[in-house]
Chains A and B, each alone.
Chain A
């Protein structure tokens, strides 16, 4: 393999990887505050892209993206308030079924609103054929946008959870719900907030990736599966782990092309998911001790 080809594969891997990581972090935020996996996570990505595309004729691109993210956050909040907030100690199975139901509902609504066609935001810089050269490899400038925006979101989240009082309150709810209530934190609001946050992140990712991958009403399912694989691989609830696992899975997928036919790409990631679930269910970066204390 030439150095140029290596870099080319690497960038392809980083592009997929950062998108997977963002979806996985979305899973993690909600998992951390509620202990559930929100299988409608992929739909947030779809909604972000689709809403921004619909707003584009009315607003300039940055504003359209901003409004789309805000609207998706609102939808995230509504989902939580309508379907989840009023449940008292729901079982894990029930929550999984509810979130899968929400995901199907969102998808069906999307096909009625936007139809079955693929759509895309325009490239932020240049167009479909502009390329920049990095270490001999040629990539689209949009790749840098995807990687950059995803990176900034991860840093922002880290700061939010470590340095702000709301972030700390959310972590408190995750660590010990009863103790958090005793400290005067309303865990229900924190759960809503976690949906808002992960909806916003998903929507923003959906906007930056739209020029490369297109947006379509049913894009969420595939992303949710990949994101779930990454979340498990990195250890559920561990956002740093999710980034590392996302990049790892992206790189494995990209480099696998040079060894096995492309058609096996998805088979590889699903095989990894199964392998991890059997061998290390707490993920490669998670701790088995911590996993044992969790409900699922």
Chain B
């Protein structure tokens, strides 16, 4: 009996060794908390696939300075509670070097302090400005600032001579932060917000609120600020009520699927976004062009039937920065943090990043380009 026990114990040991070959390699553990499923899966899906693709590429090259990357993706399903427990797990148990994500602003805000206290670099793929303002020394974000997106939109409204707008925002962290920025910056541009509605990401028909804002004859333009599929429903419902008002979207519209979902109703919508979506149309000497085309080609050939989105791009930028920082700082959280803060003129998908101790986003308003939808495709605005 005792002999059998020993055998079984040996067997079990052998199994654990087989299951964990990483024991021998000098691997760098990178965590990722992404909303791969759930209502924010539009963000997390492309982000997770991008990270997997990049990790494969990096490891195929032999890793960073000879150290391979161990990517641990946790699916938060968009829930801040899950993001919190995954963050603690990754920091305390897995002892990862850095965390990429979360996908949404609401989740990021919940774990901002946890990453800071755990002295683990966090590279958020979410857009809200509050993530890096006020700056927490370990927290970075890769998407453009929402205040810059607001300024782009207001500039365009001013050019068109429109002043009274209706704001529709979803009830995610991104939607809330956007609505706040819209309200805060409006006076600077002489814009008046005359209608304001918040919708749920799960709403499936928004005819009623659209009817309400349409009934207000003062409304000259609609700004629809969301990262959820529901934003496409707003577009359809606006056109279905026979309303031809100009519609502006946020940079949360940067997934061609949103435009496809709204079909003909998406035509002519104007929104600011990173240049990834129109990479092919950029001038040949644009510093981002080669990288954008490269990412597009690799992603679309690896994941057949799926087009790149700016969201996957945010994860791309996070991994890119981390790769650069690891080259300098190795497998050391504090050194990598310092390296991240020192990144200068690094072209990414969202723009050209130049970090500093006071700017943990590193992008300026130039990272944005106004775009529109023409014949079901994203093109630079004004369309040719």
Binding site for B on A (CB under 8 A): 2, 4-5, 8-9, 11-13, 15-16, 111, 115-118, 120, 127-131, 133, 137-140, 209, 212-214, 216, 218-219, 222, 253-255, 257-258, 261-263, 265-266
Contact = CB atoms under 8 A, between A and B. Distances in A.
B45 A115 contact: yes
A12 B237 CA distance: 10
Interface centre among B37, B199, B202, B211 (most CB of A within 10 A): B211
10 contacts: A12-B208, A13-B208, A116-B44, A116-B45, A117-B41, A118-B42, A213-B205, A257-B197, A257-B209, A262-B206
Interface in B175-221: 197-200, 202-209, 211-212, 215
A128 B208 contact: no
A214 B241 contact: no
A130 B205 CA distance: 16
A257 B41 CA distance: 28
SS class, residues of chain B in contact with chain A = helix
B362 to A, nearest CB: 30
Nearest to B39: A218
A219 B204 CA distance: 9
Contact of B208 (A120, A130, A254): A254
Given A131-B241, A216-B229, A8 B211 contact: yes
Interface residues of B, number: 40
Given A8-B241, A127-B263, A131-B239, A116 B171 contact: no
A133 B36 CA distance: 41
Contact of A213 (B212, B233, B241, B265): B233
A207 B180 CA distance: 38
Contact of A262 (B41, B199, B236): B199
B264 interface: yes
A68 to B, nearest CB: 19
Interface of B: 36-39, 41-42, 44-45, 171, 197-200, 202-209, 211-212, 215, 229, 232-233, 235-236, 239-242, 257, 261-266
Nearest 3 CB-CB pairs, A to B? Answer: A116-B41, A213-B204, A128-B263
Contact of B207 (A12, A209, A265): A12
A213 B200 CA distance: 13
Contacts of B257: 117-118
B51 to A, nearest CB: 16
A214 B229 CA distance: 9
A21 to B, nearest CB: 15
A16 B266 CA distance: 23
Given A5-B211, A214-B204, A138 B240 contact: yes
Contacts of B199: 262-263
Contacts of B265: 128-129
Contact of B239 (A13, A129, A253): A129
A203 B15 CA distance: 46
B204 A116 contact: no
A263 B229 CA distance: 16
B98 to A, nearest CB: 25
A296 B198 CA distance: 37
Given A128-B262, A216-B229, A2 B208 contact: no
Nearest to A8: B211
A15 B239 contact: no
B264 A129 contact: yes
Given A116-B42, A216-B229, A140 B209 contact: no
Contacts of B171: 263
B266 to A, nearest CB: 8
A16 B207 CA distance: 10
B233 A214 contact: yes
